[in-house]
A = this chain, B = another copy of it.
Amino acid sequence: MTAFKNGPGASADQKTRFFLVIMRLNLKFLLISLCVTVALITFALWANCGVGRGLVPKWPIQHNGEGGGNPFDQTEEIDCIINQEYAVGCRKEGEEVYLPFSFLQKYFDVYGSLNVVDGSRRFDWTHSYGKVNYPKGAYDPRGIFMYFENYNVEMRDRVKCISALEGVPISTQWESQGYCYATQIAQFGLSHYSKNLTEPEPRRKVVEDADRELAPWIVPKNSTMNRTIDQRIPRGTNMVLSFSTGKSFDTAVVLPMDHVLDLVLSVDVLLKPNSTLCVTLQNRETQRLYHVYYILADLLIGVQDENIYYGIGLNSTGVWKRLTRDLFVDLQKGLPQYVNTDKRRKMRRTELKVVEVSLLGNGSIDNLTLSTSEHIAHFYDAAEWLIRHQDPSSGGWPIPVRRKLGSGFAELARGWYSAMAQGHAISLLARAYYHSRGDQRYLRAALDGLKLFRIPSYQGGVLATFLGKYAWYEEYPTTPHSFVLNGFIYSLLGLYDLNSTAPANQSNEAAMLFEQGMMSLKKMLLLYDTGSGTSYDLRHFTLGIAPNLARWDYHATHVNQLLLLATIDPDPLIVQTAERWKNYMVGKRAQHN
C-alpha cells in the first residue's frame, strides 16, 4: 500500500524527497490526493484493526455536521483491556463503561437479540436457551411420559426416515447410513402415546373399505378393480378391494382426491410381486407434485427427483400388511434437498394436499383412511418393534453401532446396551401393557428388560457402581464409568413405570432397582452441580479431565427430570436442587465463600 510511505516507518530523508517531488506537481491535484490518502489510510487501518483482533467489527463513524442536541455528547470511545490479554472497543459515559454484546456473548456464552415489542426496540438478554417444563401434576406412569407430547422425533434431522417395514424411525446419529436405535424408537412411541393424551381426537376419513365407504376409483381399460371377500384380512369386514393392472403407470387404478390436513394414511395392503401403492401429494403454493411409493423391497428410502420410495419388505409379498404413514414426514424425509444436502427443505404441513392414490400391479387394499393423526398406531408400531427386537437371552435392545463417548473412554462395541434404551423401552412397554388392557407380551418384554440392570457394565450389562458403593445405570456402559445423569434418570422412570404398572407379584424387581437407583441419585446428584450449571456426566472424576459441562438443553433436561421426580419423591433435596438448577438458567449462581 503506497500510503504506508508516509507511515511512521518512513525515514526523514525519504520524507524530504517525497515533499520536494510533490512541490513540482499541481498543488490542487495534490490536495485532493492527500485528502483521499487520509481517508484511505484511516479506513485501511481501521479495517485492519478490526480484523486483527477478530472481535467486534467497529461501527463506521457518522458525521452529519449538525451540531448540538445529542444527549450522548458525553459518549467516548475507550479500550477495555480484557484480563491483560486483548482489547475490546467500549464506550464510556461519565463513570459508566459500556461493553459490546458481541464480546460478552463469546466470553460468557450468553444469548441476545434485538426485538421490537409494543413498538419499542429492546434488546433481550438470555442466559440460556433451555426450557423448563413444570409438571402439570404428579407423574402418572400410565399418562404422558415427561413432556414428550412436545417431542416430534420423526422430524429431527438425525432421523433419516420412518421405516415402512416396521413403522419406526431410523437414526443417523452415529452412523449415517441409518440404524434402529431403541432409545429413539421408544421416544418416538412415547411421544405419540403422550400426544394421544394431549391432542384432540383426530379427524378420520375412511376413504375406501370395500364395504360401507366406496371411493370413485378410475380404472383404465385392460385394468380391473373389484370388491371381493378375503378371509385373511385382519380387521373390519372381510370385504376388500382387489386390483389388477399392467406394468406401466398409465394402467394404474387411480383415486383422485383433494384432501388437505389429514395427511396420515392408514391402509391394509396385500401386494403381489412388482406391485405398488402410490400417493401423490401436491404443494399448494408451488403446485409441484410429489409421488410417494410403497413398494415390495427391502429398501429403506430411495429418491429420484420427485419420486420417493419406501420399501415395505420383500417378506410382505402376498400377505396383509398394515401401513400407518405420515405422508408429510414421508415426503419431507425424501425431499431431494434433504437427501442431497442433509438439510431438510422447510415445508409446512398446511402447504400439502393429497391429490391421488394409485395402485399398480396386483393386490388388494382395505380400510384406506386419511387422518389428522394416528398416534396410537405409531405407539404400537414402536411397541411391536421392541417385542421383535429384544434379545431373548439378555432382555436387552442391542444398539447396532459403535460408540465412543469421548477421549479417554474405550469404544463401545456394536451391540452394546444402554440403561436409557432399556428404561425408555420399559416405560413404553409398561404403557402398552396398560393400554392394551393386559397384553402379557408387553409385560413379559418389560420384565425381561430389567435383567441388564443387575449385570455390571464390564460384563455386558448396564450397572456401574460409584466407588463400589452406589449403583448407577449407565446410558453408556463405558470403561471407565461415565455416569451420564439424564440417561440414568430416564432409566429410573422406566423402573418406576413398570413397578407402578406390573401386577403386584411381578413388580418387585423393578421396585428394588428403582429404590436402589433413587438412593444413588440422591447421594450423587450434587456431584453434577457446578454452582452455575451442571455437568453432563462424571467423566472429570473417572478420567481426571475437564468436566463435560451440560449444554443448556441438557441442563434443562436435568431440571425437568428433577421437577418430575419431585412429584413422586418428597425428599426436599430433589425439589431444592431442581429450583437451584433452574435459577442457574437465569444467571443466578451458587454463592462463593
Contacts and interface: CB of A to CB of B under 8 A. Distances in A.
Interface of A: 3-11, 13-15, 17, 19, 22, 27, 30-32, 34-35, 37-39, 41-43, 45-46, 48-49, 51-53, 55-102, 104, 107-109, 112, 114, 120-127, 466-469, 522, 525-527, 529-533, 535-536, 540-541, 544-551, 554, 573, 576-577, 580, 586-587, 589-593
Nearest to A83: B586
A6 B108 CA distance: 37
Contact of A35 (B17, B19, B88): B19
Contact of A9 (B61, B91, B120): B61
A547 B593 CA distance: 10
Given A63-B14, A65-B67, A546-B580, A112 B96 contact: no
A141 to B, nearest CB: 26
A540 B529 contact: yes
A123 B42 contact: no
Given A53-B52, A548-B593, A551-B593, A38 B73 contact: no
A547 B531 contact: yes
B101 A97 contact: yes
Contacts of A531: 530, 533, 535, 546-547, 549
22 contacts: A6-B39, A13-B65, A14-B65, A31-B31, A38-B41, A48-B49, A55-B87, A61-B76, A65-B67, A65-B68, A66-B68, A67-B68, A70-B72, A72-B73, A79-B120, A81-B123, A81-B125, A97-B101, A530-B547, A536-B592, A548-B593, A550-B593
A96 B104 contact: no
Contacts of A573: 544
Contacts of A546: 529, 531, 580, 590-591
Main secondary structure of the interface of A (DSSP, over half): mixed
Contacts of A532: 530, 532
A541 to B, nearest CB: 5
A127 to B, nearest CB: 5
A305 to B, nearest CB: 39
Nearest to A126: B83
Contact of A49 (B34, B52, B67): B52
Contacts of A10: 39, 63
B5 A84 contact: no
Nearest to A5: B63
B37 A38 contact: yes
Contacts of A550: 592-593
A129 B64 CA distance: 44
A354 B291 CA distance: 103
A99 B104 contact: yes
Contacts of A589: 109, 549
A549 B591 contact: yes
Contacts of A46: 7-8, 45
Contacts of A73: 62-65, 70, 72
A90 B98 contact: yes
A124 B68 CA distance: 31
Among all A-B residue pairs, the 9 with the closest Cβ atoms: A98-B98, A45-B45, A549-B592, A530-B530, A546-B590, A61-B71, A8-B43, A83-B586, A526-B540
Contacts of A48: 45, 49
A65 B102 contact: no
A60 B97 CA distance: 13
A49 B55 CA distance: 12
B549 A125 contact: no
Nearest to A58: B79
Contacts of A91: 72, 75, 91, 93, 98
Nearest to A539: B526
Name the residue in A30, A114, A526 with the highest tally of chain B Cβ atoms < 10 Å from its Cβ.
Answer: A526
A586 B83 CA distance: 6
A62 B80 contact: no
Contacts of A127: 83
A527 B549 contact: no
Contacts of A5: 63
A580 B4 CA distance: 42
